[in-house]
Structure 1
Amino acid sequence: MKIAIATNDYTQVSGHAGQARDWLLYDSDAASDEPERIRLSKAQVFHHWEGEGTHPLDEVAVIVAASAGEGFRRRMDKRGVQVLLTGERDAARALRAVLNDEVLPDPTFDPSLLLCGLRDLFSRH
Structure 2
Amino acid sequence: MSWLDEVRFNDDGLVAAIAQDADDGRVLMMAWMNREALARTAELGEAVYYSRSRGRLWHKGESSGHVQRVRELRIDCDGDVVLLKVEQAGGIACHTGRRSCFYRRLDGGGWASADPVVRDPESIYGGDG
**TM score, norm. by length of structure 1:** 0.30
**TM score, norm. by length of structure 2:** 0.29
- Radius of gyration: which is bigger? 2
| Larger RCO (alpha carbons 8 Å, 6+ apart) | 1
Greater helix fraction, Structure 1 or Structure 2: 1
